[in-house]
Amino acid sequence: MRKDSNNGLDVHQSITNSIVAAIEAGAGNATLPWHRTGASSILPKNVATGNACNGINVLALWATAQERAYTHSLWGTYKQFQSLDAQVRKGEKAALVIFYKLYDVEPDPQHEDHDGRRRVAKASWVFNVAQVDGYTIGEPLPPLPPLQRNARAEAFVAATVPRYA
């Protein structure tokens, strides 16, 4: 069992439970995440770094955004929002993500594949920007229109088609 050493929480099981709950709640009209609008349409991003989340955290935050009807994909810790002069509203509930950290240790000579690194998963708690006061969100980009033909591009492609004699 993998537990966060800080509080005894099994972070992997907690994330799994939230994803299973989202699945059991039903898909409704199933669509792929990149075909949706709002928070579940793009990868969740860290508000302080702008980096996109990855791995299981993407699914966990998509599930949380859907469950709580968040329309933005920006997430951050309490301290990150605080450093941006924003304040998480009292009573707001954080979402669980997994933070991985690498530690350098002495390689174990009895295991030739041991690389001298220890990987540790820790629980981290983040809030969606919708739970915060004092942070200004830029206007989201409008959805792209359906594919439209471009006459110049069509002419170029037509000109590149090989002609057989």
For helices 56-68 and 11-24, the axis angle rounded to 10 degrees is 50
Do the Cβ atoms of 145 and 101 come closer than 8 Å?
A: no
DSSP label at residue 62: H
Confidence check: pLDDT of 33 > 70? no
| Cα gap 41→71, rounded to integer Å | 9
Could you tell me the sign of the dihedral formed by the alpha carbons of 66, 25, 55, 93, in that order? Answer: positive
Per-residue pLDDT tens digits for 73-122: 999 999 999 999 999 999 999 999 998 888 888 887 888 888 888 888 88
3-state SS class at 157: helix
**Which stretch of 38-42, 115-119, 155-159 has the lowest confidence by average pLDDT?**
38-42
* Entry pTM: 0.62
**Which pLDDT score is estimated for 27?**
59
Q: How far is CA 165 from the centre of its chain?
A: 54
